[in-house]
Amino acid sequence: MSSQKSLYQCILDGMENGALREGFSLPEPEDGRQIRYADGAMDGIALYHMPRVQMDEAGMNLMSRAVRSAAAGEHEEADLDFARLGKTMRAVSVIDQLQSYIMENADQLPAEEVFQSALYLMVNSTDRESVKFGLSMMELFGEPEEEVRQIIRTLGLSDEFTIFSVWNMLKWENGNQEIFNLIRKVRGWGRIHALQRLKPETPEISEWILLSGIDNDVMTAYSALPAWTKADVYRRLRKPMSQEEFEAIGRILQALLDEGPVAGISRVLHVSEDIMRYLSLADEFDLGIEEYETIQALQRWAESEEVSQPEIAGRCGEILASEKCRRAMEDV
């Protein structure tokens, strides 16, 4: 599309020790926008806060043209066409329609050419949406050869492309482990999206979700409910645990209470029972300022008119009035 460096090459150049260096971001698109978003933010907003959109006739025509260019082996033209489509419809919003269109017209679209065009977009495009369309088309081919898998892993290091790489990995034989490897290398929207699709298949994954699953550079609330569920906190609260695990559960509880961006505490099954169990364990562990702040937040939640949980509020009050709490506050 231009003489500038491809986004894939930008990512390669930004890597340090297998991940992207701190503070890395993709080159800003020259689209005239005054507001600049963090990598992955616009897609994150679309997925969490905007209704699904249906492509109109003009969009369908643009998409058809782009796919036909890809199927004809006109890689650079396909890149331009998909970039035009991306200016009207973000890839994350129309991936299902794109994939359905290709599958429904598979008899007219040479698979090898579509594959090669997808690969071309992934490696050579300077346009964010074109890269995503390439990844979306690549997903249709299941698990590719190792060389292509490595390209998908590399693109996934950017929060802008993580979700598209994850969707590819879900089709791979060892896909869940691939997602686990990737989620530990991203910190922004990519980690939020990857956690939603990561399965706690092993004790190692479950433990990581508990201890680190909500840690991201966007907002912990986005990951609180999946972390609580996938780490099986209900079970953990009913068996011996370490100080580190107790503290992690408290941090997830604090994040669950923030239901500004997404549903949290209101969606937890057995929520009253779980909170009382957490509070009953307070005497067994060392509580710091963060834990007492969580208990204060739980008290406010329990005393609110819409919740009204006097037993929880009372237990919180007891802990906050204790000598241990007073000493902790004096040490601040």
The pLDDT assigned to 152 comes to 98
pLDDT in tens, the chain (332 residues): 455 899 999 999 999 999 999 999 999 877 656 578 899 999 999 999 988 878 889 999 999 999 999 999 999 999 999 999 999 999 999 999 999 999 999 999 999 999 999 999 999 999 999 999 999 999 999 999 999 999 999 999 999 999 999 999 999 999 999 999 999 999 999 999 999 999 999 999 999 999 999 999 999 999 999 999 999 999 999 999 999 999 999 999 999 999 999 999 999 999 999 999 999 999 999 999 999 999 999 999 999 999 999 999 999 999 999 999 999 888 76
Pairing of strands 19-20, 15-16: antiparallel
Provide DSSP, 199-257: ---SHHHHHHHHHHTT--SS-THHHHHHHHHHTTHHHHTTS---HHHHHHHHHHHHHHT
The pLDDT assigned to 33 comes to 63
Q: Report the 10 Å Cβ neighbour count for 112.
A: 9
Distance CA 134, CA 138 (A): 6
Distance CA 86, CA 70 (A): 15
Distance CA 257, CA 133 (A): 36
Read off the tokens for 191. Answer: 């980690």
The pLDDT assigned to 264 comes to 97
**CA angle (142 as vertex; 136, 148 as ends), nearest 5:** 75
Residue 19 sits at φ, ψ, to 5 deg, of -135, 175
CB 113 within 8 A of CB 67: no
Residue 232 sits at φ, ψ, to 5 deg, of 55, 55
Residues pairing with 20 in the sheet = 15
Q: 20: helix, coil or strand?
A: strand
Provide DSSP, 156-211: HTSTTTHHHHHHHHTTSTTHHHHHHHHHTT--SHHHHHHHHH----SHHHHHHHHH
The pLDDT assigned to 3 comes to 58
Read off the tokens for 143. Answer: 């698990």
CB 200 within 8 A of CB 209: yes
Closest CA to 298 of 261, 328, 262, 264: 264
Rounded mean pLDDT of the chain? 95
**Alpha-carbon distances of 239 from 15, 16, 234, 309, 319, rounded to whole Å:** 41, 40, 10, 25, 22
The pLDDT assigned to 51 comes to 84
Distance CA 180, CA 288 (A): 31
Report how far Cα 77 is from the mean position of its chain's Cα atoms: 31
Mention every residue, 6+ apart, whose C-beta is less than 8 A from residue 80: 1
